A and B are shown apart, each in its own frame.
Chain A
C-alpha cells in the first residue's frame, strides 16, 4: 500500500512513515492545553465540515473527534448507525455516496468490518479518517498512546512495552505494534494462546510473544492492557472465567514491575476483568492522560487531513 495520509485521510498506521508520525506528534503537543487552563476555540478549520460516521457504537472516540473538530473551528455532524438509513439496510457504498454528495471535507468513520475505510477510500473523493475498523487498526489510538508515553518518558526509542490481552481481535494492538516498531520499541505481546496468533511476531520488527504475564511485565516500561472484547468472540477461544486470574492486571503484579512503569488502557475499562480498580486508579495509571491526549492528537490529524 502506498502512503495513505494525503490526500486520502488517515487509514492506518502501517502505511505511515516514522517522520509522518513525528510530525503529527509534534503538532499534537501544540494542541495540548496548558495545565489548569481551559481550551480556547481556534479557527484553523473554520468553514470546514467534518462528518463523524459511527457504524459501531463508541462514546469516547466519537466525542473526542467531535471536540477536536470543534476546537479547530470546524462544523461537525455525528451520525451513529442506530436510527439512520444504515440500520434500514442501505449499503455502505450508498450511505457514503449520499454523504459524499453533501461534500463534507472529511469523514471520520468507525466500522465493525476490517478494511471498510480502505474499501471506501477507493471510491470516494472525500478523505477518510479511520476511527477503528474491525479487528484491523485504530490509528488515532496508537498516536495518542505514543503521545502519552512521550509525555512521561520524553521518547519512545529503547523502551519496552508490554501489550496484554486479546491480541488477535485488537485493532489497538495492531496499530500500536506498527507505530512502536517504527520507533525501535521492544514490544512484548501477551495473552491466552488462542488469542495470540504466532504471526503477530512477524508483522513488524521487534515483537516477541509470551503467554506468561509476569514475564511480559517484568522489564516493561509501559503496560498496555486491552479490553477483553467479549463482543468479538466468534468462538470459545478461551475460558472466560479464568481470564482475570491469568491475564488481569492486579496490584500484586505491580510489585514485580519496574517502579516507574506506566499503565495504560484504551478504555472503556472492565474493572475486575482485565484490570483491577486499584491499578486503574493508581499513580502509575495514565488512563486519563490518554483520554486527554486523544483530543490533541485528533486535532493534529484533522488539521493535517483537511490542510488545503
Chain B
C-alpha cells in the first residue's frame, strides 16, 4: 500500500467550496482524507506544503501532443512531462496528428502510448470529419467507445454548416461536446496576425475578428437547433465572448475556453515579425483582452486551456508569413493567470483554481478536478509568491516556441501528483 501525506497546505477545492489549511492523505492513488492534523504513521511519505496551495490536479482541455506523426515536435511523453511541469495532471489532446485521430485505431494507439509513456492522464479528442477534411463524418461513436472525450477538427474548422449540424446531432446522441476552432477560412485566408492598426503598420496580412465571430454565431445557432454540447476553443474576440454569454443566457449547453496568451498580450505587444507571437486565433487588441478577462471573471468562459502547440525551431525560424501558427504554453499557464487574473484583483484563488480544475473537467465530463474523498489523487501544489524566471531551454517539451522565454513570474507550480504519485517537483525545493 502506497501512502502520501500532504501536510499543512492551503487546500482550495472549488468542487466542494473548500478553502482552508488542511492535511491531505492519499492511499493507493485515492484521496482518503482531507482534514486537520491527520496523523502520519511512520514510513509514510510526507510533503510539507506549508505556505502553498493544494488544489485538485489541473486539467488542460486543449493540447497538441503531435504523436503520432510529428514526434520531432513533441511526443506523448515529452508533452506530458511539460504538462506535469506546468501543474497539469490531465490533458486532452487534439486530433490533428498524422494520421489524424479520426478512427478508433488511432484513438487506441494514443491511449496505449499514453498508458506506457505519459506521466499525466491523456484524454484523446477525436476528429469531427475524416482526415479533418470537413466533408465526411469520422467514426465518432467508435472513437468515443475507444476513449475519445470530445470531437474537434481543431486547426481546420468545418466550413460546411450542414456537416457541422450532422456532427452536432451525433455529439448530442453520444453526449460528448463538439469543440470548434472558430475561424471562417475565407475571411482569414492568407492572414498572419490580427487585422488592425498593427498589421497595417507592419505590412502583414490580417485575420479579422469577424472570421471568428461569424463561426461562433453560426455554431451557436446550430447548437440551439441540435441541442448539442458545444465548446468554443480559444475564444479571443470581444464579440464572440458576448455571443457566448448571450447563448448561455438562452440556456444553451455552451462552454468556452481562453488561452493565457490571449488574455495577457495584445498584437501591439508583439516583437515585430517574431514567430513566437504567431498563433491562431491571433493576439488581438486591448478591448478583446478586457472582454476575455470579463468572461473569465463572470463565468461566461469556463476554462483556461493552453492550446499548447509545439513546433520545432527550424519551422519557427523563418520569414513570419511562412512560419506555422502556435506556441507552447503548458508551463506558463498558471503563472500568467496568477499575474493577470489574481494579482490584478480580478478574481480570488478559488475562482482561478476552478478555471483549471472542476470547470474544464465538467466541459469534457472527466472524472477529475476534485479533492473529494474517494476521488483519484490528482493534485497540484503551487506557490503564489516565489519569484522565478521561465527558461524555455529547460522545458521538457521538445519545442521552444514561446513568447514568454525569460519572463519573470511570481508564483507557479511546485509539485504535480498523478494517481497519488509525485510526477514532477520544482527543483531547489
Residues of A within 8 A of B (CB): 1, 14, 91-93, 111, 113-116, 118-119, 122, 133-137, 171, 174, 197, 199-200, 202-203, 234-235
Which one of B190, B203, B274, B314 has the greatest number of beta carbons of chain A within 10 Å?
A: B203
- Does B205 belong to the interface (CB within 8 Å)? yes
- Does B224 belong to the interface (CB within 8 Å)? no
Task: Say yes or no: A137 contacts B317, CB within 8 Å.
Answer: no
Pick the contact of A136 from B189, B196, B202 — CB < 8 Å? B202
Find chain A residues with CB under 8 A from B390 CB. Answer: none
Roughly how many angstroms separate A1 CA and B269 CA in the complex, as a whole number?
11
Pick the contact of A199 from B196, B319, B322 — CB < 8 Å? B196
Pick the contact of B273 from A91, A115, A197, A234 — CB < 8 Å? A115
Task: Say yes or no: A93 contacts B317, CB within 8 Å.
Answer: yes
Task: Say yes or no: A113 contacts B272, CB within 8 Å.
Answer: no
Number of A-B contacts (CB under 8 A): 67
Pick the contact of B272 from A118, A171, A174 — CB < 8 Å? A118
- Shortest C-beta distance, A113 to chain B (Å), equals 4
Residues from 187 to 219 in B contacting A, C-beta threshold 8 Å: 189-190, 196-197, 199-205
Q: Decide if the interface of chain B is mainly helix, strand, loop or mixed.
A: loop
Task: Say yes or no: B272 contacts A234, CB within 8 Å.
Answer: no
Task: Say yes or no: B200 contacts A113, CB within 8 Å.
Answer: no
Roughly how many angstroms separate A135 CA and B202 CA in the complex, as a whole number?
8
3 shortest interchain CB distances as A-B pairs: A136-B203, A115-B273, A113-B319
Q: Which residue of A lies closest to B196 (CB)?
A: A199
- Does B404 belong to the interface (CB within 8 Å)? no
Find chain A residues with CB under 8 A from B135 CB. Answer: none
Find chain B residues with CB under 8 A from A114 CB. Answer: 202-204, 273, 320-321
Q: Which residue of A lies closest to B186 (CB)?
A: A235
Query: Interface residue tally of chain B, by bracket?
Result: 20 to 34
- Shortest C-beta distance, B288 to chain A (Å), equals 16
Roughly how many angstroms separate A132 CA and B344 CA in the complex, as a whole number?
43
Residues from 298 to 334 in B contacting A, C-beta threshold 8 Å: 314, 317-322
- Shortest C-beta distance, B367 to chain A (Å), equals 46
Which one of A1, A119, A137 has the greatest number of beta carbons of chain B within 10 Å?
A: A119
Q: Which residue of B lies closest to A175 (CB)?
A: B203
Instruction: Report B253-293 CB contacts with A as 1/0, cut-off 8 Å.
Output: 00000000000000000001110000000000000000000
Find chain B residues with CB under 8 A from A235 CB. Answer: 189-190
Roughly how many angstroms separate A115 CA and B196 CA in the complex, as a whole number?
17
Roughly how many angstroms separate A133 CA and B318 CA in the complex, as a whole number?
14
- Shortest C-beta distance, A191 to chain B (Å), equals 13
Task: Say yes or no: B320 contacts A115, CB within 8 Å.
Answer: yes
Roughly how many angstroms separate A135 CA and B320 CA in the complex, as a whole number?
13
Find chain A residues with CB under 8 A from B314 CB. Answer: 91
Task: Say yes or no: A203 contacts B319, CB within 8 Å.
Answer: no
Task: Say yes or no: B202 contacts A119, CB within 8 Å.
Answer: no
Which one of A1, A93, A115 has the greatest number of beta carbons of chain B within 10 Å?
A: A115
